[in-house]
Structure 1
Amino acid sequence: MAIHFKFQLLLGFVAATVFLSTDALRVVMVTPCQSGHITPASGLIRQLLAKGHEIDLIVTDDCCATINNLLKNVTNCYSKVLFASTPVVTNSQINSVMSPKNTEIYAEMGVKKIFDFVQEVFRADDNYDVMINGYMMIGAHLAAKLHNIPVVTYYVGPLPLPLADEPYERKGFLFFPESILPGFLFSFYDVFSLLYWQRIISNPSVKYIEEIEAKYDIQPCFSNTGVDFMLPFSYYYMMSNIVQLSPPDLTLPNLNFMKRNTNVHHVGFIPDEEYLKPLSAELENFLEHSRRPVVYMSLGTVFALPTNELEKLVDEFAKQDKYCIVWSASNKYYSALKERNVETENFKLVSKVPQLTMILHQKVKVFITHAGSNSLQEGVYSETPMLVFPGFGDQPVNSRSLVQHNVALPLTSLTFTEISKKLDLILDAGTYSKMKATLAESKKLMTSLGGFGKAAEIVQQVATGDIQVNYNPDRLFNPIKECYQFLFMNGVIFLAIFYIAIRGCLFCCRATPKKAKTN
């Protein structure tokens, strides 16, 4: 009897092992190492690991040791330094848009170099059920197609893809609030940034994509879609399933987009326990003993301003007594600023704070942020009104959306005079309550979509073939063509006004009687 029972247990164990090995997926994720990318990626990875799947990572920097500390159960990690991480000067949006670094990051690294690197890994082992890649990694997607591996692209941020049959509102990649310039000039800012994005990102990316597709005969071809604008977003819209981890009301052209025939899966954001690590006892004590409205400031890991400006701001924070300010400084500045030893009962300088836990604290009233996409969704989840000071990339787009939806106010400069002015406005009882109510509605929609758990389900369905890529989604509107039409029409109007002005001057000159000559 005992032998028979043991035999039954052995059979059960074998059956369970076979079942798990059959259902468990082999997943590879390709992602940059910067926190803005690896933070949401790690949330999805944790969900997949909890479901028993095997995860390998391919990363574009020497960060495997860091990732192994963050994610203990990753099987393999392949790393290669493909481009240097360069801080972007936050007070120069135009310079950041025009920087040739964008071509290097999105086209040369994002298409060509990452294709070669992932190909190198896949030549040794391509036995994967599904690949997950960050939106900057078009080359990884091409390599997966070449090896017949289904792909899910994860993305946190705004999706600037208006549909052809929807009302179009031009939105570029610059945001200059409260400018002294006339309002009509803002259209030229938008047109300029869209056309420059086309020149330094979309056009080079399309060139590299076409070269790779032709060389390896990768089908279906992106070059056959007729879409050559708004890359990398439009590439994935046409060629991949996209998991968008964001509040949709703040990051989509409109909410009707969610009902359309697209490859975009909207999963919102719900934090897991890793997002909600406890604050240090020292910081907790500082907050509990604060007697003024607490303001938390964090401007991201690649934030950059001249050191003397930051030192001046630290001194101003230390001297003021209107607010209790906690500034989480990036590593490159923290040590130098900490040496000034200017902390008071109303100011504390910190580093590496669990941000969501911080802004969920009942004492924190306002969040000063660069409006990176992770910070945006955490601000919404915590229902914390924001002051935004954007730098580059998605930050100006996010800032514009937050301000237009009346959940944030813009900062025109990073000085205490400007910060204090906007804090007084945002903490007005009527303004503050309206912002909180709007944030609560946005959070309700965002958290109803399933978060990382739903994203993991979509990955599984793509791996098993239950979700396929739709190669004929609803048609996109071409904003680049519209920009050229805008410039042409305004050029015609300008020339007409100029012609009329010249004709008027000539007419006036001819109509003026000449004075008689005198001896």
Structure 2
Amino acid sequence: MRSRVWFPLTGLLAWLCCLRLGPVQGEKVLVMPVDGSHWLSMKILVKELGRRGHEVTVLVPESSLLIQGSDSYKTEVYKVPYTQDELDKSLNKLREGLFDQQPGLADLFVNVNRLVQFTSIQSVGCEALLDNEPLMTKLRTEGFDMMLTDPFLPCGSILARMFSIPAVYFLRGLPCELDIKANKCPSPVSYVPKFFSGNTDRMSFPERVKNMMMSFLESYICTVLYQKFDELVSKRIQDGMSYKELISEGAIWLLRYDFVFDWPKPLMPNMVLIGGINCAKTAPLPADLKEFVDASGDDGFIVFTLGSMVSDMPEAKAKQFFDAFRQIPQRVIWRYTGEIPKDVPKNVKLMKWVPQNDLLAHPKAKVFMTHGGSHGIYEGVCNGVPMLMFPLFGDQGDNVHRMTSRGVAVKLNIFDMTTETLVDGLKKVIYDKGYKERMVGLSQIHLDRPVEPLDLAVFWSEFVMRHKGASHLRVAAHDLNWFQYHSLDVIGFLVFVFVAVLWLTLKSCLFCTRKCCGKRGAKKKSE
């Protein structure tokens, strides 16, 4: 009789525990996204939070690149002091010169300048939002439980501070490793390569010298890059407060990478890896596209896209690609909106938008031709498709370097590429089975995990809502000044004690020596 009662009670207790630790139902989430490709992966988490019963509100500028409404969340559209045409022109300006090679370090400064120009217009939109008093009043009275934002731009962090709600950050990383610095996370230059250094995590002495020099250069770049953000934070939050200090208050950092992609390095307790969140689900291919790839036979097909922001190129450069595709038996699906020649090869299908992840999941996918954005890289890794890579700007060069160093990709310089080098690169990736084997191995490691990235992101978002933050994960380093953090005061004290003890010891020895010698001398004289 006791056993009959015991098992139902055990089941009831387990059910109650699961109910207690289950998702927070009906909490309010405010989302401040970054427009463009950053939104594509954040949208996955936003929709999932809405699907799980949370009331999600997404702030959308009236002039937007990719952010749209959905049944999974509601939107609050705010006015911005620029039109859609002006935003498009800003994007086109960012694209200008992408196919023109810059010499040496000039490429780094050109990238920084492009980034500053592109973020400037969105920062103006942020100020317009903060000055929108009716909307600010409405949002403040909503009683949001959490801010989900990408700290690539400052608006979400500022709103979280103004509304006194915890912030969950969703990002790949920040320029100048500001995410690492804001979290007081160790990043030794001896084995953590700096961006644009071209190093891996195993560096020779000259490479470590280069890495150190890049860290010095990074300090200057950060000052230029975040100057306007610092001014905005100082104006809106607290005089003299920097953007780094503001984002250091983030409760949880959801980082869109893992150590299949990035080099192993230290992380803080509130930094959660969710690499691959964008390739969790695939959908059936459209009928015409499915027919095209299914008919590719044993030769298979190639997926070619340069990301969500670049879909065309100079006519002469496009001709090199068309000429190369004529020389291979594989079919090619190319996201291309540029000038279309009259003699497009029969094995090439041009599209304005490509269901990238769905195509890469097809068993006949042979090569992924990509610019090296983190979204595309993870879709290639998830589906085990080796890559031919053409980095264009930003962190893409470093992303590509990570893949080529693992032997799963070949890099081509799109600036001085020829039809012949392109054909050779494709043949190398397709017919050298080592690339496919290594990529499949990398994919298996990536997919061998206890929790799916999306579930992990949802858990920590709901954790923050349940507990009103995650202060227990905040390291005490935030409360130390630079002197204390590096224990320079302790080292100075110990050096002082050591010198003092050494000095006293020497003085004592000298005193004893004099006394002893003095007594012996006096004794000899008396004798």
- TM-score, scaled to structure 2: 0.70
Query: Equivalent residue for 1:418?
Result: 421
Checking the alignment, whether the CA contact within 8 Å between 1:155 and 1:245 is kept in structure 2 is yes
Query: Equivalent residue for 1:328?
Result: 335
CA distance in 2, matches of 1:272, 1:417: 33
1:461 aligned to which of 455, 463, 468: 463
Question: Which structure exhibits the higher relative contact order, with contacts defined as CA atoms closer than 8 Å and separated by 6 or more residues?
Answer: 1
For the structure 1 residues 22 and 133, does the alpha-carbon distance in structure 2 shift closer, same or farther, using more than 3 Å as the test? Answer: closer
Checking the alignment, whether the CA contact within 8 Å between 1:387 and 1:409 is kept in structure 2 is yes
> Which structure has the bigger radius of gyration?
2
Checking the alignment, whether the CA contact within 8 Å between 2:326 and 2:345 is kept in structure 1 is no
For the structure 1 residues 157 and 444, does the alpha-carbon distance in structure 2 shift closer, same or farther, using more than 3 Å as the test? Answer: farther
CA distance in 1, matches of 2:217, 2:419: 30
User: Structure 1 stretches of 5 or more lacking a match?
Assistant: 1-19, 178-182, 226-234, 479-519
After superposition, residues 385-400 of structure 1 pair within 5 angstroms as 385-400=386-401
1:342 aligned to which of 341, 344, 348: 344
SS of equivalent residue, structure 2 residue 372: coil
CA distance in 2, matches of 1:297, 1:130: 38
After superposition, residues 225-236 of structure 1 pair within 5 angstroms as 236=247
Query: Equivalent residue for 1:278?
Result: 284
Query: Equivalent residue for 2:167?
Result: 151
CA RMSD of aligned residues (A): 3.7
Q: Does 1:313 align with 2:320?
A: yes
One-letter amino acid matched to 2:438: M
For the structure 1 residues 74 and 450, does the alpha-carbon distance in structure 2 shift closer, same or farther, using more than 3 Å as the test? Answer: same
Query: Equivalent residue for 1:287?
Result: 293
For the structure 1 residues 419 and 175, does the alpha-carbon distance in structure 2 shift closer, same or farther, using more than 3 Å as the test? Answer: farther
For the structure 1 residues 437 and 206, does the alpha-carbon distance in structure 2 shift closer, same or farther, using more than 3 Å as the test? Answer: same
Q: Does 1:163 align with 2:163?
A: no
Superposition deviation, residue 204 in structure 1: 4.2
After superposition, residues 433-512 of structure 1 pair within 5 angstroms as 433-445=436-448, 448-465=450-467, 467-469=469-471, 470-472=473-475
Q: Does 1:242 align with 2:243?
A: no
Query: Equivalent residue for 2:35?
Result: 33
Superposition deviation, residue 385 in structure 1: 0.8
Which stretch shows the higher mean deviation, 38-47 or 317-326?
A: 317-326
Superposition deviation, residue 436 in structure 1: 2.5
One-letter amino acid matched to 1:198: C
Superposition deviation, residue 411 in structure 1: 0.8
Query: Equivalent residue for 1:73?
Result: 72
Checking the alignment, whether the CA contact within 8 Å between 1:135 and 1:153 is kept in structure 2 is yes
For the structure 1 residues 431 and 272, does the alpha-carbon distance in structure 2 shift closer, same or farther, using more than 3 Å as the test? Answer: closer
Superposition deviation, residue 118 in structure 1: 4.4
SS of equivalent residue, structure 2 residue 149: strand
One-letter amino acid matched to 1:422: G
Query: Equivalent residue for 1:362?
Result: 363
1:197 aligned to which of 218, 221, 234: 221
- TM-score, scaled to structure 1: 0.71
2:272 aligned to which of 265, 268, 286: 265
Superposition deviation, residue 269 in structure 1: 2.5
SS of equivalent residue, structure 1 residue 153: strand
Superposition deviation, residue 148 in structure 1: 0.3
CA distance in 1, matches of 2:66, 2:318: 33
Superposition deviation, residue 199 in structure 1: 4.1
SS of equivalent residue, structure 1 residue 286: helix
For the structure 1 residues 340 and 277, does the alpha-carbon distance in structure 2 shift closer, same or farther, using more than 3 Å as the test? Answer: farther
Deviation track 1:179-228 (CA, whole Å, cap 9, x = no partner) reads xxxx979949956973563243134433443343324x9xxx55796xxx
Aligned length: 424
Deviation track 1:349-381 (CA, whole Å, cap 9, x = no partner) reads 223121111011111111010111111111111
User: Structure 2 stretches of 5 or more lacking a match?
Assistant: 1-21, 201-205, 483-527
Q: Does 1:302 align with 2:309?
A: yes
Checking the alignment, whether the CA contact within 8 Å between 2:255 and 2:271 is kept in structure 1 is yes
Checking the alignment, whether the CA contact within 8 Å between 1:156 and 1:244 is kept in structure 2 is yes
For the structure 1 residues 158 and 417, does the alpha-carbon distance in structure 2 shift closer, same or farther, using more than 3 Å as the test? Answer: farther
Deviation track 1:158-199 (CA, whole Å, cap 9, x = no partner) reads 89447246843432237699xxxxx97994995697356324
Checking the alignment, whether the CA contact within 8 Å between 1:237 and 1:262 is kept in structure 2 is no
Superposition deviation, residue 296 in structure 1: 1.3
Superposition deviation, residue 394 in structure 1: 2.3
Checking the alignment, whether the CA contact within 8 Å between 1:111 and 1:140 is kept in structure 2 is no
